[in-house]
Amino acid sequence: LAKTTQPISMDSYEGQEVNITCSHNNIATNDYITWYQQFPSQGPRFIIQGYKTKVTNEVASLFIPADRKSSTLSLPRVSLSDTAVYYCLVGETGRRALTFGSGTRLQVQP
């Protein structure tokens, strides 16, 4: 399984755009990149998934460069409720059980 590296923590203020970058140098051809969000005392929640280029949904955008060795989760105009841990996962299509790293703890301040 591809190993991921992401910052341990980040701080931001309400209304700012937050970009969290994940490094996955040994990503395989069949691997997808998936981001999850976890609030305290809850299970992780799917945010977004992509294979290459850019993916956008109502919550976030995911930017993946051509070499796919990294990816960036972009959260537009964060609010206090976006304070959570964000996990970047890389896994082969069909392998549903993915490996979670330690994640990035995002703290949004007023």
Partner 1 sequence: NAGVTQTPKFQVLKTGQSMTLQCAQDMNHEYMSWYRQDPGMGLRLIHYSVGAGITDQGEVPNGYNVSRSTTEDFPLRLLSAAPSQTSVYFCASSHSNEQFFGPGTRLTVL
**Binds partner 1 by CB under 8 A, chosen from 3, 45, 54, 77:** 45
Q: Does 53 bind partner 1 (CB under 8 A)?
A: no
Site string for partner 1, 2-41 (x = CB under 8 A): ------------------------------x-x-x----x
- Cα dist. 107→19, 29, 30, 47, 71 in Å? 13, 34, 33, 17, 20
Long-range contacts of 54-63 (CB under 8 A, 24+ apart): 60/35, 62/33, 62/35
Return residues touching partner 1 (CB under 8 A): 32, 34, 36, 41-46, 49, 87, 91, 93, 96-103
